[in-house]
Chain A
Amino acid sequence: AQKVTQAQTEISVVEKEDVTLDCVYETRDTTYYLFWYKQPPSGELVFLIRRNSFDEQNEISGRYSWNFQKSTSSFNFTITASQVVDSAVYFCALLNYGGATNKLIFGTGTLLAVQP
């Protein structure tokens, strides 16, 4: 079975606070990719990061960082010093990369509200 769980439905923080968005996944495949996407109020879906199952190195990009832990099947996303422009819905996604089909599924999303 393939599943992505984002248990946090909504998070509200004040600007400059750090915030972590949780993502837990389930898969039986050994080769897979994990993603984070951002959906701002304008509605488009913006790709943020990709991680493959063989690379557990954490990644930092500016104020964004990602922590991938296979032992706990988690791929968490941290925003440091949050800003109002970070307000959006954030989706975690899983791609099983094997065979011909390559199904890509998403979690239910976390709505992040950053208050000024």
Chain B
Amino acid sequence: DAGITQSPRHKVTETGTPVTLRCHQTENHRYMYWYRQDPGHGLRLIHYSYGVKDTDKGEVSDGYSVSRSKTEDFLLTLESATSSQTSVYFCAIRTGGTEAFFGQGTRLTVV
């Protein structure tokens, strides 16, 4: 168990509302990642972090922002949710051994 928790696990929200997803780790790993999973697209990288306050964009960052004010938490915010952001979101942490371990996922529906 890599000690990674995503919250919430499920969320339904309305178009235009802000949404924040949280990824929490208990093991002090430096690297954290946010992905979205959609049919036909696999796992696409949204944003990632390589340290506190150090973040960078991934392949599909438009409409998303992130923050990492402490090692254990990596927050993903949809500033104004759209239906195209309906997806399953996965957080991952990367261990010193370089492989990544994933959270259970958050199913987000924007109506």
Do A and B come together as binding partners?
yes
B-chain residues with CB within 8 Å of residue A109 when the two chains form the complex:
42-43
The verdict on A106 contacting B56 (CB below 8 Å), with A44-B102, A97-B98 known, is no
A-chain residues with CB within 8 Å of residue B45 when the two chains form the complex:
103-106
Place the interface of chain A in its size category: 20 to 34
Tell me how many residue pairs across A and B have CB atoms closer than 8 Å. 64
Complex: A50 Cα to B94 Cα, angstroms: 12
B-chain residues with CB within 8 Å of residue A47 when the two chains form the complex:
99-101
A-chain residues with CB within 8 Å of residue B48 when the two chains form the complex:
101-104
Cβ proximity bits B56-97 to A, threshold 8 Å, 1 near / 0 not? 101100000000000000000000000000001010101001
> Across the interface, do B54 and A91 meet the contact criterion of CB distance under 8 Å?
no
A41 contacts the other chain (CB 8 A): no
> Across the interface, do A100 and B50 meet the contact criterion of CB distance under 8 Å?
yes
Cβ proximity bits A44-64 to B, threshold 8 Å, 1 near / 0 not? 110100101000000000000
Complex: A102 Cα to B100 Cα, angstroms: 11
Complex: A52 Cα to B100 Cα, angstroms: 14
Interface SS of chain A: loop
Interface size on B, residues (CB 8 A): 28
The verdict on A102 contacting B42 (CB below 8 Å), with A33-B98, A44-B102, A47-B99 known, is no
B-chain residues with CB within 8 Å of residue A52 when the two chains form the complex:
98
B5 contacts the other chain (CB 8 A): no
> Across the interface, do A104 and B101 meet the contact criterion of CB distance under 8 Å?
no
Q: Which residues of B contact A (CB under 8 A)?
A: 31, 33, 35, 40-45, 48, 50-51, 54, 56, 58-59, 88, 90, 92, 94, 97-102, 104-105
**Would you give 24 A-B contacts (Cβ < 8 Å), ordered by A?**
A9-B40, A35-B99, A35-B100, A43-B104, A44-B102, A45-B90, A45-B92, A47-B99, A47-B100, A47-B101, A50-B99, A91-B43, A93-B43, A95-B94, A102-B31, A102-B50, A103-B48, A104-B31, A104-B45, A104-B48, A104-B92, A105-B59, A107-B42, A109-B43
